[in-house]
Amino acid sequence: MKTLVWVEHDNASVKDATLATVSAAAKLGEVHLLVAGSGCAAVADEAAKIAGVGKVHLADDAAFANALAENVAPLVVDLMGHHDAFVAPATSNGKNIAPRVAALLDVPQVSEILSVESADTFTRPIYAGNAIATVQAPAGKLVLTVRGTAFPKADKTGGSGTVEPVSGSDAGLSSFVGAEISKSERPELTSAKIIVSGGRALGSGEKFHELIDPLADKLGAGVGASRAAVDAGYAPNDYQVGQTGKIVAPEVYVAVGISGAIQHLAGMKDSKVIIAINKDEDAPIFQVADVGLVGDLFKVVPELTGKL
Amino acid sequence: MKVLVPVKRVIDYNVKPRVKMDGTGVDLANVKMSMNPFDEIAVEEAIRLKEKGTVTEIVAVSIGVQKCQETLRTALAMGADRAILVLTEDEVEPLAVAKILKGVVDEEQPGLVILGKQAIDDDSNQTGQMLAALTGRPQGTFASKVEVSGDMVTVTREVDGGLETVSLKTPAIVTTDLRLNEPRYASLPNIMKAKSKPLANKTPADYGVDTAPRLKTLKVEEPAKRQAGVKVADVDELVGKLKVLGVVE
Ligand SMILES: Cc1cc2nc3c(=O)[nH]c(=O)nc-3n(C[C@H](O)[C@H](O)[C@H](O)COP(=O)(O)OP(=O)(O)OC[C@H]3O[C@@H](n4cnc5c(N)ncnc54)[C@H](O)[C@@H]3O)c2cc1C
Ligand SMILES: Nc1ncnc2c1ncn2[C@@H]1O[C@H](COP(=O)(O)O)[C@@H](O)[C@H]1O
């Protein structure tokens, strides 16, 4: 089987989400990549070095600069003439583009696969991860998105793919206006080894920064948040961990003042070690926590930060 | 401008889903069902656009069993003007939902379709994008802000790195994210009024769509359970645990 993998990148370098997707695709067969962007030749060269990669299709055009689905989907459909599966990471770009491709190909999509059971059978989470479904796709082209935490990362080196240019065009339906990308020195949430997340209990943006940031700094951790903390404006939207936010599985996840609603657990319960700080000893987060501390976070967190 | 809002009847988000013993699915017998939360946000956004004078009519549509009528009545009570129920006993997959919605779009010619980004039961996050593909329209997914001006709609999107803004030519497809708005509760008088708002009954066949599932669900299982761990008495003990775990030296 020939697979075509969507490379997640920022026109400068390959994003880690690509690597888990390559591992998933490699279970199906030959791995070809699509680098669609603008001024992104360096990305294609980097992508060609990923272990196990054959061809890299490079679509370098202003139309692809911002991964607009209206422009990218027809390009992918063209390339699917000689591929059997389109595989994208379940990132915001992957989720935006893949279903548009699937509908144009008139095939169903299997979202956020957790495993490849066979060439047409996959597992995926439903109901906020409270159930795992094993689904079999019909004969024909496959369209999949891949949950990054469920597959190992392919090696960034060792591959010797060849780069081949392809062309596409602007569909003229949409245009990119701008972006406000959060800048942070901290590790990205989806690849951080340690994450400290804050919840509604922090009470304000100031307290969130005052308490969560120094603890994260001490641990070299990424910072996450519950939906309630994001909704209240204590943290930006891209911090949200959960069913409808980011899915993370770090070595250590520290939940501070987070109750542990199923929608939050859906995004972090595959973390290796979960540590919870909550003043309510019956908070559901303690049912999944390996280490729990019942206490007032306003007292406990500064003390913890101080002692590390 | 007319707005179409697809609303799905799903398990209430407060209910913990239970996997059936026979591994065929999730037990929905006697479980509280509600409108998909993202669809409430979609209905609310349509109402706000109507209140601003941008939108003239809001049509809610639901695909599923007879009981989806209740979901449509909720949308009508919130402020939708009329509703369409596309009746089927099948569990309709996103692609078939999108095909039916395309049929509705062809008939109704809305300037905007606002869907939820994701149904909290199947967690597919597909239907809006698929509808956009089938109708050849632009898509503004995961919206946290929607502004209509003339024949353009500007959508601010929640993306992995932060926020992104795109400009789309109408007619367009928008899917909602959590921060778009906070949906209103229907007032009692509006719930009463909703009972007499028009609700049309259709079937997938009216749109020429076959809803037979194309994906085969072989089994549905509970995920591996996590064991609750230990509680520590104080910060010193927590630091001790962190040392044992190798998190700190
Ligand atoms: C469609 C939908 C999607 C959703 N998606 C997500 C998602 O992706 N991610 C997500 O997180 N949520 C999501 N939610 C929301 C989820 O249901 C919960 O509302 C949310 O996770 C609660 O956030 P919280 O734990 O911070 O707040 P709360 O539930 O209010 O919990 C606060 C906790 O802090 C504790 N506390 C209070 N004061 C202190 C103190 N001084 N010291 C220590 N502890 C204290 C309390 O005991 C409590 O347990 C979603 C909901 C819906 C409907
Ligand atoms: N059966 C349905 N009836 C009406 N709308 C639906 C249905 N299924 C999905 N939708 C719409 O599509 C969105 C995304 O669903 P999904 O792609 O299944 O995650 C939902 O939030 C609804 O707006």
Q: Which of residues 151-190 of A touch B (CB under 8 A)?
A: 173-182, 190
Vertex A236 angle, CA A231 and A240, to 5°? 70
Can you tell me whether residue B39 is helix, strand or coil?
helix
Best of B13, B36, B70, B74 for a ligand 2 pocket test (most atoms within 8 Å of beta carbon):
B36
Q: How far is B114 from chain A (nearest CA, A)?
A: 15
**Interface contact flag, B235 A300, Cβ < 8 Å:** yes
Q: Give contacts of B231 with chain A, Cβ < 8 Å.
A: 281, 286, 291-294
**Interface contact flag, A106 B125, Cβ < 8 Å:** no
CA–CA distance, B15 with B102 (Å, rounded to integer): 32
Average pLDDT, chain A: 97
Query: Quick one: closest CA in A to B174, which residue?
Result: A96
Q: Which runs of consecutive H residues, i.e. helices, occur in chain A?
A: 17-26, 41-48, 69-79, 92-105, 205-207, 213-219, 227-231, 262-268, 297-307
- A-B C-beta contacts closer than 8 Å: 252
Among protein residues, the one whose CA lies closest to atom 8 of ligand 1:
A242
Q: Which of residues 10-29 of B touch A (CB under 8 A)?
A: 11, 13, 16-17, 19, 25-26
In the numeric block, the tokens 């890299």 are attached to A56
Residue A21 has which token pair? 């997707």
For the cut 80, the answer to whether the pLDDT of residue A303 exceeds it is yes
Can you say whether the dihedral through the CA atoms of B71, B73, B75, B78 is positive or negative?
negative
pLDDT per position as a tens digit, B120-154: 999 999 999 999 999 999 999 999 999 999 999 99
For the cut 80, the answer to whether the pLDDT of residue B249 exceeds it is no
Q: How far is the CA of B64 from the centre of ligand 2 (A)?
A: 10
**Interface contact flag, A130 B126, Cβ < 8 Å:** no
Average pLDDT over residues A167-177: 97
Distance set, CA B57 to CA A91, B61, B68, B105, B110 (Å): 34, 13, 21, 14, 9
pLDDT classification of B248: cutoffs 50, 70, 90: confident
pLDDT classification of B15: cutoffs 50, 70, 90: very high
A211 lines ligand 1 (CB under 6 A): no
Average pLDDT over residues B153-178: 97
pLDDT of residue A260: 97
Average pLDDT, chain B: 96
Under the phi-then-psi rule, with left for phi > 0, alpha for psi from -120 to 50, and beta for the rest, what region is A296? beta
Would you say how long chain B is, in residues? 249
Average pLDDT over residues A241-269: 96
pLDDT per position as a tens digit, B83-110: 999 999 999 999 999 999 999 999 999 9
For the cut 80, the answer to whether the pLDDT of residue A278 exceeds it is yes
Residue B186 has which token pair? 């229907």
Q: Which runs of consecutive H residues, i.e. helices, occur in chain B?
A: 37-51, 68-78, 94-108, 127-135, 188-194, 235-244
Nearest atom within ligand 2 for CA of residue A99: 17
pLDDT of residue A130: 95
pLDDT classification of B227: cutoffs 50, 70, 90: confident
* Helix, strand, coil shares, percent, chain B, to 5: 30, 30, 40
Q: Which of residues 132-191 of B touch A (CB under 8 A)?
A: 132-134, 136-142, 144, 154, 157-169, 177-179
**Interface contact flag, A177 B157, Cβ < 8 Å:** no
pLDDT of residue A185: 87
pLDDT classification of A298: cutoffs 50, 70, 90: very high
Nearest atom within ligand 2 for CA of residue B68: 3
Q: How far is A122 from chain B (nearest CA, A)?
A: 10
In the numeric block, the tokens 């597909």 are attached to B126
Average pLDDT over residues A165-179: 97
For the cut 90, the answer to whether the pLDDT of residue B113 exceeds it is yes
DSSP structural state of residue B54: S
Ligand 2, CB cutoff 6 Å, lining residues: B 6-8, 36, 38-39, 62-64, 92, 94, 97, 115-116, 118-119, 122, 124-128
| List of residues 6+ apart from A172 with CB closer than 8 A | none
Q: How far is the CA of A27 from the centre of ligand 2 (A)?
A: 31
Residue A127 has which token pair? 């109901």
Given a contact cutoff of 8 angstroms between Cβ atoms, the answer to whether A297 and A211 are in contact is yes
Interface check B123 vs A, CB under 8 A: yes
CA–CA distance, B80 with B242 (Å, rounded to integer): 54
Would you say how long chain A is, in residues? 308
By the 10 Å C-beta count (0-12 exposed, 13-18 middle, 19+ buried), A205 is classed as: middle
| List of residues 6+ apart from B134 with CB closer than 8 A | A103, B98, B99, B102
CA–CA distance, B125 with B94 (Å, rounded to integer): 9
pLDDT classification of B247: cutoffs 50, 70, 90: confident
Pick the closest to residue A200 from A231, A222, A223, A221 (CA basis).
A231
Query: Quick one: closest CA in A to B243, which residue?
Result: A308
B13 lines ligand 1 (CB under 6 A): yes
CATH topology match: A2-165 vs A189-307: yes
> Of A111, A136, A173, which is closest to B123 when you measure between CB atoms?
A111
Q: Which CATH number fits domain A2-165: 3.40.190.10, 3.40.50.2300, 1.10.1200.10, 3.40.50.620?
A: 3.40.50.620
Q: Give contacts of B98 with chain A, Cβ < 8 Å.
A: 103
Pick the closest to residue A274 from B227, B243, B16, B237 (CA basis).
B227
Q: What is the 3-state secondary structure (H, E, C) of A20-79?
A: HHHHHHHCCCEEEEEEEECCCHHHHHHHHCCCCEEEEEEEECHHHCCCCHHHHHHHHHHH
Could you say which ligand is closest to the alpha carbon of residue B119?
A: 2
Domain boundaries, chain A: 2-165, 189-307
Q: To the nearest whole percent, how much of chain A has pLDDT over 70?
A: 100
CA–CA distance, A146 with B95 (Å, rounded to integer): 19
Q: How far is the CA of B236 from the centre of ligand 1 (A)?
A: 26
For the cut 80, the answer to whether the pLDDT of residue B82 exceeds it is yes
CA–CA distance, A119 with A1 (Å, rounded to integer): 8
CATH code of A189-307, in short, is 3.40.50.1220
pLDDT of residue B108: 98
